[in-house]
Amino acid sequence: MSRILVVDDEFRIRQIIRKYAEFEGFEVAEATDGMQAIEVCRKEDFDLIIMDVMMPELDGFSACKEIRKFKQTPIIMLSARGEEYDKIHGFELGSDDYVVKPFSPKELMMRVNAVIKRTNKSNNDLSKNDVFTYENLAVDFSARIVTINGNRVEMTPKEYELFFYMVKNKGLALTREKLISEVWGYDFFGDERTLDTHIKLLRKSLGEYSRCIVTLRGVGYRFETL
C-alpha cells in the first residue's frame, strides 16, 4: 500500500489529513517542518508528500527544492489562498499539484489519488537505472553482465545487443523491422530468418527465463516480466 508523508506545523491539519488518508488505505507518516521532512525523506521512501508552504524552520518551497535533489517523490503543496506567486513557484520547483487552504478533505484526497495514479503509470522506465532485475534475473547494462540465480550467463555480442534492446523496451511490442534496424542497423538487408535464429539462441541462453521473450505472431517479439 502507498505511503504518504504529511508535512505541516499545525497538528489539527495533520490529524485531518491522516484520518482521511488512512480511511483511503494509505500509510501515513508526519513531519512538522521542512527540516524534519528532508531528514525523514532521506531515510525512508514515500509514494507521495503533502506539504504546507508556510512552516517554521524551513518553508515548503525550500524543502521541496531540497528533497528533489535526491528523491523524485511526487509532492502536493498546500498554500493559503492568495499566495499566487507561491503557487507558481511551487509548481516550477517540481511539485506535482497544489491545493488551496482551506481545502476540503475530499478534494485533497482526490488529488492525492490522481497524482499517485499518474506516477505509478509512468514509473516503469528504467532509463536512470543501469541494472534491471526481475526475480533471479539480473541485467547490468553498463557492465554488460547477465546473471541468473547469481550465475553468469555467457552471451555472444549479438545476443547481448538484442537482449539489452528488448529489456530496455520491456513490455513493448517490438516489430521485426524495429528489432532488425535497431540491433543490426537500418542497412541490414540480410535474411528474414536471421532474427529468429538469434531469438532462438537467446532463449537457449536464458534458460527458464526464455519465457520472458514472447512471440507476437505476425509482428515480432516482446520482453516481459511474466
Q: Which residues bind DNA (CB under 7 A)?
A: 156-159, 176, 184, 188, 190-191, 193-194, 196-201, 203-204, 215-220
Q: Taking CB under 8 A as the rule, does residue 217 contact a second copy?
A: yes
Cα dist from 52 to 55, 57, 177, whole Å: 7, 13, 51
Q: Which does 143 bind (CB under 5 to 8 A by kind): a second copy, DNA, none?
A: a second copy
Choice between 44 and 110, CB closer to a second copy: 110
**Enclosing H/E stretch for 174:** strand 174-175
**Enclosing H/E stretch for 6:** strand 3-7
**Enclosing H/E stretch for 80:** strand 75-80
> Going residue by residue from 126 to 155, which x/- string records binding to a second copy, judged by CB under 8 A?
xxxx------------xxx-----------
> What residue spans of 99-208 are helical by DSSP H?
105-121, 157-168, 176-179, 194-206
Nine-digit cell string for 195: 532474427
**Residue the block writes with cell 521485426:** 176
Q: Taking CB under 8 A as the rule, does residue 121 contact a second copy?
A: yes
Residue ranges that bind a second copy, judged by CB under 8 A? 84, 87-88, 91, 97, 104, 106-107, 110, 114, 118, 121-122, 124-129, 142-144, 156-158, 160, 169, 171-173, 216-219, 222, 224
